[in-house]
Structure 1
């Protein structure tokens, strides 16, 4: 039985393509850089007929460069949202006026927010009073008595 003899440059290229396909199947922005390095090493091997040690050294160098460049590129893609409180439900409540359900003081109490009740501290306020949410501490709302506007 004879083994398949494949030129090393083609082996690098095939390996690189397999890594790129693996990146598509299981994305994570890591295999794409290693696959690109393997393909670059394969191209240089085909063009210049490099031996085994230079191939491995070239692949290691390209992989290192590709990962460093890729990390820098993807690290700079973060941008601030137009709505920084998008996923912060409690943070979005700051400034809203709500109704006290059970007396609120520095030790606790409950307020109605929409169709739900939340723990609250601050006040002081009694059931039925209106309070303004001034902050959030974990899942507890900080509230203060709502001050009515002076008559115009």
Structure 2
């Protein structure tokens, strides 16, 4: 083992970096990309400075791995911005605050309203069909409704 470490060459680092990048292609989610690039960088530095001792190579690899991961994390964090369409892919959230007539009575706490061309399950106090209700919230596919007070 010591003999291998004493004669660690740039080919070993480039092969290790290539292996990590290949594994990244199979779905590591970005984690191995930065470690693979750090290994390839150590390989290039070992090519340029062939007398670099193995301990220095490992220290350099560790530092580059941490630095590239932190750099990417900060870049991703600064690039994240709030969506200009916060309700996107949250079907039903656009119905909150709107008023509808009950399509089917609320019985046992559950009923249905018709919104556009869709029927929605609703939860609320028992009410007869045709009663105007306001959507006050959403819990998954269930809309929470309350009776609209006249006036």
Class of the TM-score when normalised by the shorter of the 2 chains: 0.7 to 0.9
Gaps of 5+ in 2: 1-6
Specify the alignment match of 1:68 in structure 2. Answer: 70
Alpha carbons 1:16, 1:39 under 8 Å: kept: yes
**TM-score normalized with structure 2 length:** 0.75
Alpha carbons 1:23, 1:29 under 8 Å: kept: yes
Gaps of 5+ in 1: 1-5
Distance 1:144 1:11, change over 3 A: same
Alpha carbons 1:99, 1:111 under 8 Å: kept: no
Matched residues in 1 for 2:37 and 2:21: separation? 8
- Is 1:116 equivalent to 2:119 in the alignment? yes
Alpha carbons 2:106, 2:124 under 8 Å: kept: no
Deviating beyond 4 angstroms after TM superposition, the runs of 4 or more aligned structure 1 residues are none
**TM-score normalized with structure 1 length:** 0.75
Distance 1:24 1:137, change over 3 A: closer
Deviation at 1:147, TM superposition (A): 5.2
Q: Size of the alignment, in residue pairs?
A: 140
Specify the alignment match of 1:10 in structure 2. Answer: 11
